[in-house]
Amino acid sequence: GAVVSQHPSRVICKSGTSVKIECRSLDFQATTMFWYRQFPKQSLMLMATSNEGSKATYEQGVEKDKFLINHASLTLSTLTVTSAHPEDSSFYICSARSGGSAKNIQYFGAGTRLSVL
């Protein structure tokens, strides 16, 4: 299967700082990338969808000014959590999909565990 690299795997930061998470598709071009959040023993919740070269589409209830998404190339998307607070602590996971069809498979990164002190 296709490989998606997510970086860093774990980050601990102080309240008020910003954190950037990178997501790269290593062996295919991802026209669409997705960012999810997962709480313990819960399902993955979609935060936003990003297409290369255009603005991200955020799900209802997700603050776009807090969670900045940039999809600068066909292999790289970044999520920046701005002015992080303890309630932002969570497991963030990205995925990448090649092609524009919803039938195409989403391949996931290994996730980033964010802890805000």
Partner 1 sequence: EDQVTQSPEALRLQEGESSSLNCSYTVSGLRGLFWYRQDPGKGPEFLFTLYSAGEEKEKERLKATLTKKESFLHITAPKPEDSATYLCAVTGANSKLTFGKGITLSVRP
The contact mask relative to partner 1 for 23-62 (x = CB under 8 A, - = no) is -----------x------xxxx-x--x-------------
User: Which CB atom, from 8 or from 16, has the smaller least distance to partner 1?
Assistant: 8
At residue 20's C-alpha, the angle toward residues 64 and 48, to 5°, is: 35
Q: Which is nearer to partner 1, 12 or 15 (CB)?
A: 12
- Least gap, CB of 16 to partner 1 (angstroms): 26
CA 27, distance to chain mean position in Å, is 18
Count of residues making up the chain: 117
Q: Is 103 in the site for partner 1 (CB under 8 A)?
A: yes
The interface mask with partner 1, positions 78-97, x = CB under 8 A, is -------------x-x-x--
For partner 1, the closer of residues 56 and 93 by Cβ is 93
Q: What's the closest the beta carbon of residue 17 comes to partner 1, in angstroms? A: 23
